[in-house]
Chains A and B, each alone.
Chain A
């Protein structure tokens, strides 16, 4: 008996190691939630001092692109009714790049744009003077759904990012992925943005139709 024991193999059986590792692997696969910190960035305006009246900004009506969204999620874009937001990005792009009455600086900006963006300039006197003046205003209602609001904001951002990306010679997705990690990336970001700031005004919602 004793002899037999001595001759027994002392190696640990490692064949089931893979199975154990598989079990652990499956546990982590199931519990993993890959954190997604993606979203639409927005910077809120600074808080208003109640003692100081809001600044009286005189701006020509033609330089403001108004988008109203009511409690039924219907849109009123520049006074025209729309029941969906499709194509809004193209209209905003056309509005920003209108160059209706450019001053010297804006004319220089216009000349620096690539040909495909120059072609967008319709020079309509009823639309924005030049990109530095153009403001997109989004006004919602307290009853507007968040989903619709985000859809509209998304499309307006898309219009701007399209312009930036074309200037930086990238696709829109590539431009948005730029993070400014090094000087080269930062230079590309600046190249896209230069002279055309993203001017989106989000008005306080109406009290009607909500809670």
Chain B
């Protein structure tokens, strides 16, 4: 009987001293997974949806080309432009850009360079095909059409 009396007096407050540790763990997780955006986007980016997405294994081999309507229309006009790194380039400069990107890779990986084309939904095929012609010229023929997953109806 005495036992029961003891139990009633037991401390009921939850120890919160480990809370900072838990929060720190979450913090470290987000710090590690965070990729701070290296470049400012100068073109609009509404990435189209698709279902058959594939993931690339070697992320270091990917170089990005952003294509879309410029955000600053008073300066760059409304026609779709190409952004490589953090500047807008013309179609003719793509070959040079690809060669620069390729030179930055280790020698063994240079053949596997992949261009991820982040293209706005509203761009027409004309500019895209011009870019692809240049990429063929530069012999960077692996292209990834960046897209986001679509929820399938059926």
Whether, in the assembled complex, B34 has its beta carbon less than 8 Å from a beta carbon of chain A, the answer is yes
Q: How far is the CA of A31 from the CA of B33 in the complex (A)?
A: 11
Number of interface residues of A (CB under 8 A): 50
Report the nearest B residue to A86, measured CB to CB: B153
Binary per-residue interface labels of chain B (49-79) against chain A in the complex, 1 for a CB within 8 Å, 0 otherwise? 0111111110100100000000000000001
Q: Is the CB of A146 within 8 A of B125?
A: yes
How many chain B residues touch the partner (CB < 8 A)? 54
Q: Hey, which chain B residues are within 8 Å of A33, CB to CB?
A: 35, 37
A141 surroundings in chain B (CB, below 8 A):
125
Our pick among B62, B124, B139, B146 for the contact of A143 (Cβ within 8 Å) is: B124
The smallest C-beta distance from B137 to any residue of chain A, in angstroms, reads: 5
Report A-chain residues with C-beta under 8 Å of the C-beta of B30.
Answer: 25, 28-29, 32
A108 interface hit (Cβ, 8 Å): no
**Interface 1/0 per residue, B16-36 and A, CB below 8 Å:** 110110011011001101111
In the complex, what distance in Å separates the CA atom of A179 from the CA atom of B58?
11
CA distance A37 to B57 in the complex (A): 9
Chain A contact surface mostly: mixed
Distance of A86 from chain B, by nearest CB (Å): 9
Q: When the two chains form their complex, are residues A144 and B124 in contact, meaning their CB atoms are under 8 A apart?
A: yes
CB-CB nearest in chain B for A17: B20
Contacts of A43 in B (CB 8 A): 141-143
With A37-B62, A40-B147, A158-B52 given, is the CB distance from A142 to B129 under 8 Å?
A: yes
Interface segment out of the listed A60-68, A76-84, A203-211: A203-211
The yes or no answer to A35 lying at the interface (CB within 8 A) is yes
Give Cα A195 to B151, complex, Å: 31
**B132, CB-defined interface residue at 8 Å:** yes
A7 interface residue, CB < 8 Å from B?
no
Cβ of A119 within 8 Å of any chain B Cβ, yes or no, is no
CB distance from A170 to the nearest CB of B (A): 14
- Nearest Cβ on chain B to A120's Cβ, whole angstroms: 18
- 12 extra interface residue pairs, beta carbon distance < 8 Å, beyond A21-B24, A146-B122: A14-B17, A21-B23, A22-B23, A37-B55, A38-B146, A39-B145, A47-B137, A150-B147, A154-B50, A205-B125, A205-B129, A211-B124
Cross-chain pairs A/B with CB under 8 angstroms, 6 sampled:
A33-B35, A39-B54, A40-B50, A41-B142, A43-B143, A158-B51
